[in-house]
Amino acid sequence: MARAKIALIGSGQIGGTLALLAGIKELGDIVLFDIADGVPQGKALDIAEAAPVEGFDASLSGASSYAAIQDADVVIVTAGVPRKPGMSRDDLLGINLQVMEQVGAGLKKYAPNAFVICITNPLDAMVWALQKFSGLPANKVVGMAGVLDSARFRYFLAEEFKVSVEDVTAFVLGGHGDTMVPLTRYSTVAGIPLTDLVKLGWIEKDRLEEIVQRTRDGGAEVVNLLKTGSAFYAPAASAIVMAESYLKDKKRVLPAAALLDGQYGIKGRYIGVPIVIGANGVERIIEIELNKSEQAMLDKSVASVEGLVEACVKIAPALGA
C-alpha cells in the first residue's frame, strides 16, 4: 500500500519538528513547504539524513511551490509569524490572515481531499478563515490548540501530584490560551475527578486555581523564556497525535477547534471542544452539560473569538459572506 502523504505548510520551528516526528513515527512521506527558499529543502535533507540513524523509512522533500502538496492526505499549517515577548496572539491577526488566504488557495487547488490541521495563531480565527478560504468541508478542517492546552495542564498536575503524566487526563473547552476553559470536574487522575481530589485533600482549591492559570498562560511562559519565538515541541507533538488519529482511523477523543453548528449554543464559529477524529475527519462533536460558572467562562471565550472573527471580516470582507 502506498504511504500516506503529509504536507507541512510552514517549515519553521513547528514545521521542522512536525517533519521529524512524522518521520520517526513513520506516518508517511513528508513534503515541507515554505516561502523562505532553501529552508524546507534544508530541513527535509537534514531529517532524511537522520532516517538511517533512527531507522525510519519516509521520503522527505522541500518545496516553495504549492504544486508539491498535490493530493496530500494530511496538511498541517503553521505558516505565518509567531509571537515575540509582549505580543498577544491577536497581534498576529493581520499578517497571518493574508497567509491563510494564500494557503487556502493552495489547498483548494492541490489538496481538496486532505485532512487539514491549522496551528497558526490566533488559532480559532485563523482556522475559521482557512476553512472559508479553502472551501474544504468543515469535517476536514480543524485547529490544534486543545491537545496542547490540556497537555500543559496534565503536565503541571502530574508534577504537582508526583504521578505519571499518562494517568492524568484533562478536559478543556473554548478558545486557545488566555480564555481557555479547563473543566476540573472532568479532569482526572486515573479517573478520579480533580474536584474529588480537592475533597480528598490532595490539593487546595487555591493551588488548583494557580495551576489552571499557569495553564492559561502556558504559551506566554515559554515565549518569555525563549525571547525569539514561541513554543514548538509540544505544539508539534499535539498536532501529530491528531494527524495519526486520522491516518490510522484511531477515533481518538481529542480537544480541538471544530466548526460548531449549534453545539454549546454556537453556530458557524470554530471553538475548542472534544471531538472524535477518525478516517472521516471530525466524526463527532461531543457536547456536555455545563454548570453556570463553566458556561460563563465559555461565553467569555466565545466572545473573544467572536471579536477576532469580526476583525478578520473587516480586513477581508469576503469572509463575512
Angle ∠(22,79,144) on CA atoms, nearest 5:
60
Give me the helices (H) in the chain, please: 13-24, 39-54, 93-110, 123-134, 146-161, 194-199, 205-216, 218-226, 233-247, 292-315
269 is in an annotated binding site: no
Non-local CB neighbours of 253 within 8 Å, separated by 6+ positions: 274, 275, 276, 286
Report residue 235 as a C-alpha cell: 505544539
Only one of the segments 30-38, 157-165, 193-201, 296-304 lies at the binding site for ligand A3D (rule: CB under 6 A); that segment is 30-38
Task: In angstroms, give the least distance from the CB of 77 to ligand A3D.
Answer: 9
Q: How far is the CB of 133 from ligand A3D (least distance, A)?
A: 12
Q: Per the annotation, does 34 bind a ligand?
A: yes
Nearby residues of 180 by Cβ (< 8 Å), 6 or more positions away: 145, 146, 149, 172, 173, 174, 215, 216, 272, 301
255 binds ligand A3D (CB under 6 A): no
Choose one: 73-81, 208-216, 262-270, 272-280; the region binding ligand A3D (CB under 6 A).
Answer: 73-81
11 counts as binding ligand A3D under rule CB under 6 A: yes
277: three-class secondary structure by DSSP: strand
Q: Does 176 bind ligand A3D (CB under 6 A)?
A: yes
Number of residues that bind ligand A3D (CB under 6 A): 34
Which of 5, 6, 13, 270 is in the footprint of ligand A3D by CB under 6 A?
13
34 binds ligand A3D (CB under 6 A): yes
Indicate which single residue of 6, 15, 75, 175 sits in contact with ligand A3D (rule: CB under 6 A): 15
Nearer Cβ to ligand A3D, position 17 or 184?
Answer: 17
Q: Does 134 bind ligand A3D (CB under 6 A)?
A: no
- Supply the DSSP symbol for 174: B
DSSP H helices in 91-204: 93-110, 123-134, 146-161, 194-199
Of the residues 5, 19, 58, 78, which one makes contact with ligand A3D according to CB under 6 A? 78
What span, in angstroms and rounded, lies between the C-alpha atoms of 188 and 64?
45
Distance, in Å, from the CA atom of 255 to the CA atom of 117, rounded to the nearest integer, reads 13
Q: Which is nearer to ligand A3D, 86 or 191 (CB)?
A: 86
89 annotated ligand binder: yes
Give the separation between CA 74 and CA 67, rounded to whole angstroms.
15
The residue to which cell 515575540 is assigned: 84
Q: Which of 156, 148, 173, 153 is nearest to 234 (CA)?
A: 148
Chain position whose Cβ is nearest to ligand A3D: 12
- Known catalytic residue: 129? no
Which three three-digit cell numbers place residue 102? Answer: 494564500
Q: Which one of the listed residues 176, 218, 264, 269 is annotated catalytic?
A: 176
The position carrying cell 515554505 is: 34
The correct pick among 43, 83, 132, 154 for binding ligand A3D (CB under 6 A) is 83
Interaction between residue 235 and ligand A3D (CB under 6 A) = yes
Contact positions toward ligand A3D, by CB under 6 A? 9-15, 34-36, 39, 78-83, 92, 96, 99, 102, 119-121, 123, 144-145, 148, 176, 229-232, 235
Feature table: binding site: 10-15, 34, 83, 89, 96, 119-121, 152
Catalytic residues: 176
